[in-house]
Amino acid sequence: MFRRITSFLIFLFLLSVTPGLYTASDYVAVVIKSRGRVTLMPKGKTRAIKVQKGQLLRDGDRLETGTASFCAIKFLDDKSLLRIKENSTCVIEGKKEGERIDKNILVEVGSFFASIFKQRGKFLVTTPTSVASVKGTKFWTIQKRNGPTIYIGIEGSIDISNEAGRVLLRAGQTGIVTSKNQLPQIRLTDPSEIPSEGEGSPKTQILEIEFKSPDGGQKTMRIEVIQK
């Protein structure tokens, strides 16, 4: 009898301390900014919904931005950021592995900026021509419709691979992949190629205008403006 009670108590104790018995939600990311026409097609559905800030994303959700539109999402495990520019389409894949989320952005078309700081799970960007594997970096992915993929390294390094092999893209370099059977071509980035980040956070700028009177007096008007 005593052994049974002891076994039961041990079971209860283990139950109370075993984290695996609890389930977490199946959301993997959240939309933190959304401007213009941004739609979401949940996995397995045929009807798109309009996306607003706060929209939660599951594995397999498809995001699409229209003209003059913009969207930014953050992943829930390590706050990795993905900015999606206008006329872009991608599928957000996120597989939960314990406290991590292994992420894969399936890019169909458009311009995407990824910023990863304290990475927890894997972060991949998959395009029709290649796969970019990322570890703590900032980079652009530009996918032309039925055309090449352009990667632009801003910080850190990116491992780009396809059926032809793999190359390492560093900050300040641009990699162009024309097909999945050809190795990426690496060259130095022309700054004019880097897309603007789209609608970001407000940045304060001070504009000073000096006035001079005929008698030599001088006054300065200071105007604080927000850069959009």
Partner 1 sequence: MGRTVERRKILSLILLFGAISLFASGVKRVDVQFSTPVFDEDANRLHLELTLTNRTSYAIREARVYYREKGEANFNWERMEPQGFRYFAVLNTGQLNSNLMEYYFDIEFEDGLHQTYPDDAPVASLLSYALPQLETPDENIIIISPEPGEEIYTDELIITVSFPRFSAQIDKERIRLFLDTWEVSKSRFFQVFDDFLTFSPNRIPPGKHRIRLELYDRGGKLLARTEWSFVAHRRTGPRALTEALSVSGNVFLESRQEVLQDGNSSTLYNRAGWDINGSFGNLLFGTRLFLSNQERKDRQPVNRYSAFMQYSFWNNRYLRVDVGDSYPIYGPNSLQNIFVRGYYAQLFLKFLNLEFTQGYIQRAIDMQVPAPGDTVLGTYQRDLTAIRASFGARRKFQLGFSYLKGIDNTSSINGKAIEPPKENLVLGSDIYLASADQRFVLEGYVNASFINNNITGGSIPFDTLRSSLPDSGKGLEDIYNTAKQFITINQYLSLIPSLAYQIQARGRFFRNYFTIVLQSIEDGYFSMGQPYLLADYQGFSLTDNINLFRNQVFLTVGFQRFQNNVKGTKSTTTVTQSSYLNISYFPTGNAPSITIGFNNYKRGNDLDKPPAEDNTEEIDQLELPESNNTNTFNFSTSYSADIMGLDNQFTINLMSFQQRDDFYQSGNSNSGLVSFITRTRFQFPLITTLEVSLQQTESAKGTDVENRIEMNNFGFGLEYQLGRLFIRSDNLTAALNAQIGTVNSVIQNANQSLKYTRAFVSGRLIYNMPRIGRFSVNADFINYTGDQAYVDYIVTARYDISF
Residues forming contacts to partner 1 in the complex (CB under 8 A) are 16-17, 19, 21-25, 27, 30, 32-33, 53-54, 56, 74, 76-79, 98-99, 201-204, 224-226
Q: How many CB atoms lie within 10 A of CB 25?
A: 9
In the complex with partner 1, the residue whose CB is nearer, 75 or 139, is: 75
Q: Is the dihedral of CA 47, 51, 54, 58 positive or negative?
A: positive
Is the CB of 9 or the CB of 45 nearer to partner 1? Answer: 9
Q: What's the Cα-to-Cα distance from 62 to each of 36, 38, 101, 135, 184, rounded to whole Å? A: 17, 11, 17, 24, 27
Question: Would you say 78 or 86 has its CB closer to partner 1?
Answer: 78
CB of 40 to partner 1, least distance (A): 15
Q: In the chain, what's the furthest Cα-to-Cα distance?
A: 106
Residue pair 57/31 in contact (Cβ under 8 Å)? The answer is yes
> Least Å distance between CB 32 and partner 1?
5
Bridge-based pairing of strands 100-115 and 123-126 is parallel
Look at residues 150, 142, 71 and name the one whose alpha carbon lies nearest to residue 111.
Answer: 142
Q: Are 141 and 124 in contact (CB under 8 A)?
A: no
Q: How far is the CB of 158 from partner 1 (least distance, A)?
A: 22
Q: How far is the CB of 195 from partner 1 (least distance, A)?
A: 21
| Shortest separation between residue 95's beta carbon and partner 1, angstroms | 14
Cα(85)–Cα(67) distance, rounded to whole angstroms? 9
d(CA 157, CA 136): 8
Nearer to partner 1, 196 or 204 (CB): 204
In the complex, minimum distance from the CB of residue 153 to partner 1, in angstroms, rounded to a whole number: 22
Question: Of 23 and 46, which has the nearer Cβ to partner 1?
Answer: 23
Q: Which two tokens stand for residue 170?
A: 């560093």
